């Protein structure tokens, strides 16, 4: 079995990111290329607002990725989903069995399907994860294989607004004609990529500090316990700085090069002057530290509202996202929450082929590749269509046998008779009898035409469309199958502790 090339797309508020990964038959993933294109106000809080601009930016990224693999064309992608409306909801399912019996994977799948029947107004379910299972009122982490007559389950139903998914589908599938192989909740994919198994079991919080949103995911006993999204991110800091008469692009530069999340001890100390006679760093950091403090206070409040504390999350906070690169942000987060903080990076399971890629900056799109690598579908097939068209056009050479048809035209010399002076010769139109000779010529022209019609029939490429149609309609049921199977797998296989040995 040969390697498969998979492609991931991350449509964020500040940029579009695309990545190519190569999955070996063993399941090992190598990141081959990452490209990105900046956006301004085309996507807000995860929702695509300007379809044309986003489609153009995705096209640019796709062309750059295809330039890295000249013999291949991107036909399908794996999508990342998220945004301000992303949230988890706990659903309880209680099942009393007729007699003491073994808990099977099929029973877990049935319970998951029942949880998915819960009505959600104007929201789309994008994932389901287990939270707690009890057999005969005793908590169990792996219920499959246990015996009992009473099963209680708590599941996290993760959803977002319907409009976010509709717009994604419209741009990627309908406007650009790319097949959506699957989609993944970015924060869950990131947790699977950067969190250690021991951290999930002890208890930790994953903070995804993005441009316009900050998402907090809390893990305990190896499973997701809580997920919520704050409508604030690093771009809020940038826009605060624009109040000092800077364009947003310049404000972003100033935030990165001189911004400090810690409040300055001596605000009166002179700072380095900005070009153009603007204010000094002390003024800038008044804005930076104030907004950073607000974001940190909200992160701490969400952890507390979920019923957790530093004592219950001894593995601390793992932070990802470019917002976390703000100077001293992680140090201040650690001080104000009383929890240790570390930056999340891809583990040893992922190889990176391009030295220009900074792993900590690309966790978002790499995590989608890693999630897709579990059951990859080819996204970049080899270009083999051209030789087929050459073979089909060959029969068109057939018209050459028409040349013998020119010989019957020899009766045409008859028109030389008009050179005689007799005027009565208008009867000469009657030698128009040579015209029957032209009829066979027309018939011959019609004979080659049938082979030309088959040549147009391949253009009957609507034929793939029907094949694609069932996929379009069956996408929802396919996802339900994925959700139920995922939950059953998580609850039947023992935790793999060896995967962290390389860390």
Write the secondary structure of 335-371 as one string of H (helix), E (strand) and C (coil).
Answer: HHHCCCEEECCCCCCEEECCCCCCHHHCHHHHHHHHH
**Any idea which residue has 């991931």 for tokens?**
8
pLDDT, position 344: 94
**Could you tell me which of 363, 386, 388, 357 has the C-alpha nearest to residue 73?**
386
Please tell me what DSSP assigns to residue 72: B
* Residue 120 CB coordination number (10 Å): 12
Q: 396-413 pLDDT, tens per residue?
A: 455 555 544 444 444 444
pLDDT, position 483: 61
**Any idea which residue has 């190896």 for tokens?**
222
Residues constituting the chain: 503
Q: In this prediction, what percent of the chain has a pLDDT beyond 90?
A: 60
**Could you tell me which of 51, 52, 63, 56 has the C-alpha nearest to residue 20?**
63
Q: In this prediction, what percent of the chain has a pLDDT beyond 70?
A: 73
**Could you tell me which of 246, 319, 335 has the C-alpha nearest to residue 287?**
246
Torsion on CA atoms 386, 392, 397, 402, rounded to nearest 10: -150
Q: pLDDT band at residue 470, thresholds of 50, 70 and 90?
A: very low
Torsion on CA atoms 320, 323, 325, 326, rounded to nearest 10: -140
Q: Where is average pLDDT lowest: 10-24, 210-224, 273-287?
A: 273-287
- Nearest-angstrom CA–CA distance, 56 and 420: 74
pLDDT, position 117: 85
Q: 241-255 pLDDT, tens per residue?
A: 999 999 999 999 999
Q: pLDDT band at residue 283, thresholds of 50, 70 and 90?
A: confident
Q: 293-352 pLDDT, tens per residue?
A: 999 999 999 999 999 999 999 999 999 998 888 999 999 999 999 999 999 999 888 999
- Nearest-angstrom CA–CA distance, 142 and 398: 71
DSSP for 429-485? TGGGTHHHHHHHHHHHHHTTHHHHHHHHGGG-TTTHHHHHHHHHHTHHHHHHHHHHH
Question: Has residue 39 got a pLDDT over 70?
Answer: yes
β-pair partners for 125: 159
pTM of the model: 0.76
Residue 261 near residue 328 (C-beta atoms within 8 A): yes
Mean pLDDT across 284-298: 95
- Nearest-angstrom CA–CA distance, 116 and 413: 87
DSSP for 397-412? GTTGGGGGGGGGGTTT
pLDDT, position 432: 45
Q: 386-418: buried (b, 16+ CB within 10 Å) or exposed (e) per residue?
A: eeeeeeeeeeeeeeeeeeebeeeeeeeeeeeee
Q: 55-77 pLDDT, tens per residue?
A: 999 999 999 999 999 999 999 99
On average, the pLDDT of the chain sits at 80
pLDDT, position 1: 56
Q: pLDDT band at residue 41, thresholds of 50, 70 and 90?
A: confident
Q: 281-290: buried (b, 16+ CB within 10 Å) or exposed (e) per residue?
A: bbebbbbbbe
β-pair partners for 208: 215, 320
Q: 337-348: buried (b, 16+ CB within 10 Å) or exposed (e) per residue?
A: bebebeebbbbe
SS3 (DSSP) at 384: coil
Give the DSSP H/E element, type plus range, for residue 286.
helix 281-305
DSSP for 193-206? HHS-HHHHHH-EEE
Q: 178-207 pLDDT, tens per residue?
A: 999 999 999 999 999 999 999 999 999 999
Of residues 491 and 81, more confidence is placed in: 81
Q: pLDDT band at residue 208, thresholds of 50, 70 and 90?
A: very high
Angle formed at CA 440 by CA 439 and CA 446, multiple of 5 degrees: 95
- Nearest-angstrom CA–CA distance, 171 and 168: 5
Q: How is residue 410 written in tokens? A: 């020899």
**Could you tell me which of 31, 124, 38, 29 has the C-alpha nearest to residue 81?**
124
Question: Has residue 355 got a pLDDT over 70?
Answer: yes
Of residues 433 and 121, more confidence is placed in: 121
Q: 359-398 pLDDT, tens per residue?
A: 989 999 999 999 999 999 999 999 875 554 445 555 545 5
pLDDT, position 365: 96
Q: Where is average pLDDT lowest: 12-26, 202-216, 226-240, 425-439?
A: 425-439
Question: Has residue 216 got a pLDDT over 50?
Answer: yes
Please tell me what DSSP assigns to residue 373: T
- Nearest-angstrom CA–CA distance, 271 and 278: 11
Q: pLDDT band at residue 122, thresholds of 50, 70 and 90?
A: confident
């Amino acid at each position: 079995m040969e390697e498969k090339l998979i492609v991931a797309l991350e449509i964020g508020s500040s940029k579009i990111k695309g990545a190519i990964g190569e999955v070996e038959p063993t399941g090992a993933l190598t990141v081959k290329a990452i490209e990105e294109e900046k956006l301004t106000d085309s996507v807000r809080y995860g929702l695509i607002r300007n379809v044309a601009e986003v489609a153009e930016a995705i096209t640019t990224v796709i062309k750059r990725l295809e330039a890295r693999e000249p013999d291949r064309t991107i036909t399908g992608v794996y999508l990342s989903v998220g945004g301000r409306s992303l949230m988890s909801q706990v659903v309880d399912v209680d099942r009393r069995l007729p007699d003491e019996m073994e808990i099977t994977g099929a029973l877990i799948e049935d319970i998951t399907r029942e949880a998915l029947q819960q009505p959600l107004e104007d929201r789309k379910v994008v994932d389901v994860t287990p939270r707690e299972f009890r057999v005969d009122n005793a908590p169990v982490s792996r219920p499959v294989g246990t015996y009992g007559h009473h099963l209680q389950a708590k599941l996290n139903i993760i959803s977002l607004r319907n409009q976010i998914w509709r717009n994604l589908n419209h741009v990627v599938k309908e406007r650009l004609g790319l097949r959506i192989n699957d989609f993944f909740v970015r924060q869950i994919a990131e947790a699977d990529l950067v969190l250690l198994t021991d951290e999930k079991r002890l208890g930790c919080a994953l903070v995804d500090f993005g441009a316009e949103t900050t998402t907090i995911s809390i893990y305990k006993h190896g499973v997701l316990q809580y997920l919520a999204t704050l409508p604030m991110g690093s771009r809020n800091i940038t826009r605060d700085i624009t109040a000092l008469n800077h364009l947003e692009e310049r404000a972003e530069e100033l935030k990165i090069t001189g911004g400090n999340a810690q409040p300055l001890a001596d605000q009166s100390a002179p700072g380095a002057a900005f070009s153009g006679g603007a204010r000094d760093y002390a003024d800038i950091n008044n804005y930076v530290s104030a907004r950073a403090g607000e974001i940190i206070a909200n992160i701490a409040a969400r952890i507390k509202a979920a019923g957790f504390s530093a004592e219950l999350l001894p593995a601390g906070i793992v932070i990802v996202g470019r917002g976390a690169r703000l100077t001293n942000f992680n140090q201040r987060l650690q001080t104000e929450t009383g929890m240790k903080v570390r930056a999340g990076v891809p583990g040893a399971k992922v190889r990176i082929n391009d030295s220009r890629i900074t792993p900590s900056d690309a966790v978002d799109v790499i995590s989608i590749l890693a999630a897709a690598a579990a059951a990859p579908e080819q996204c970049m097939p080899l270009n083999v269509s051209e030789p087929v068209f050459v073979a089909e056009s060959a029969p068109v050479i057939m018209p050459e046998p028409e040349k013998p048809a020119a010989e019957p035209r020899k009766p045409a010399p008859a028109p030389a008779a008009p050179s005689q002076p007799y005027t009565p010769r208008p009867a000469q139109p009657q030698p128009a009898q040579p015209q029957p000779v032209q009829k066979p010529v027309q018939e011959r022209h019609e004979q080659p035409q049938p082979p030309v019609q088959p040549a147009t029939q391949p253009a009957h490429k609507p034929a793939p469309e029907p094949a694609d149609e069932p996929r379009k309609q069956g996408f929802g049921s396919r996802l339900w199958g994925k959700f139920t199977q995922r939950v059953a797998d998580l609850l039947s296989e023992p935790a793999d502790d060896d995967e962290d040995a390389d860390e």
